[in-house]
Amino acid sequence: STETRVINIDGMTCGGCVKSVDSALTQLDGVQSVEVDLEGNKASVTYDSSAVAVDAIVEAIEEAGFDAVVAG
């Protein structure tokens, strides 16, 4: 099913970081849309939970060089 989760992200300091996170996530199969909030240190990710797990989303952000944790 389609789910939207907010991921808290540490370490984004400029628009390049936003691009890095956005591109890491949009490349993942099952991710449908990504909204990265630089000021809010977070991203909202909509994805098909039968295709990708939230843990893989967190891992992709960490592989891009940022600390990430599911919000809430």
Contact pattern from residue 48 through residue 67 relative to ligand 9UX, giving x for each residue in contact according to CB under 6 A and a dash for the rest = -----------------x--
CB of 57 to ligand 9UX, least distance (A): 18
For residue 4, what are the contacts with CB-CB under 8 A and spacing of at least 6? 44, 45, 46, 47
Distance CA 6, CA 52 (A): 15
- What ranges in the chain are assigned the alpha helix state H? 15-26, 54-63
Q: Which stretch binds ligand 9UX (CB under 6 A): 13-21, 24-32, 34-42, 46-54?
A: 13-21
Using CB under 6 A as the binding rule, the residues of this chain from 15 to 44 that contact ligand 9UX are: 16-17, 20
